Amino acid sequence: MVIDEGLRRVLQGARRVVALTGAGISAESGVPTFREAQDGVWDQVDPEEVATPEAFRRNPRRVWAWYAHRRQLAQQVAPNAAHRALAEWGRSLDWLQVVTQNVDGLHQRAGSGHVVELHGNIHRDRVFDGQLAADVDDLELPRFPETGAVLRPDVVWFGEQLPEGAIEQALAAVRSADLMLSVGTSAMVQPAASLPLEALERDIPVVEINAEPTPLTPVASWHLPGSAGELLPPLVRSAASG
């Protein structure tokens, strides 16, 4: 990878870093991404059938079956070199805030201490606060033991609000950073996609690492094309070598 002199200076001068991450950072761990041709998750299954409150209302067993499979996958995989590089950089900086759209928990398993999960966490459940359709067979659904309330995975579905305070925390992190990374995200899903733009508006440099160009690429301060697992470790080494 070519790290130009300007980027090296920015990396070595950075003390407060925010890293926005997406499915691409977990791809090398074996977690499928969402929007890629052929094996992207949303090519295999219609999000309207598994990732909306309405889908759960109509067919909670189908939704649970899909999430049980994804939860199991997330348990079986391990953090990769990109997760580890961010965790390591966090230990040598004043502060590194990860803001992730991923629900797999791999940043925390790699040792990152400050992680905002914009889309929840697939390993947790919470109470479903809606009404199941009248004809649903609701036997054998996971339930909250104390009250018997039906549980759902604690992830954000299409059309839902982000977890309370998550975007505010992410924005505060961006505004107080002196460098932002955008790693392995298609930069197409709001509000996450607006975070690097907020940084750029405040003259905070944004380094994008992505296998492909994205809508962020033309405006990013630097775009490093390639895989996160290959690019992040040398980037972090370069930052530390100043």
Q: Which residues are catalytic?
A: 119
Q: How far is the CB of 205 from ligand OAD (least distance, A)?
A: 19
Task: Please pick, from the candidates 33, 121, 182, 221, the single residue that binds ligand OAD as defined by CB under 6 A.
Answer: 33
Binding map of ligand OAD across residues 59-78, x = CB under 6 A, - = no contact: --------------------
* Rounded (10°) angle between helices 81-92 and 228-240: 20
When asked if residue 163 is in the footprint of ligand OAD (CB under 6 A), the reply is no
Q: Give the tokens for residue 72.
A: 């199991």
When asked if residue 24 is in the footprint of ligand OAD (CB under 6 A), the reply is yes
Q: How far is the CB of 196 from ligand OAD (least distance, A)?
A: 12
Q: How far is the CB of 145 from ligand OAD (least distance, A)?
A: 28
Q: How many amino acids of this chain bind ligand OAD (CB under 6 A)? A: 26
Binding map of ligand OAD across residues 140-159, x = CB under 6 A, - = no contact: ----------------x---
Which residues of the chain form contacts with ligand OAD (CB under 6 A)?
22-24, 27-28, 33-36, 40, 51, 101, 119, 156, 184-186, 188-189, 209-212, 214, 227-228
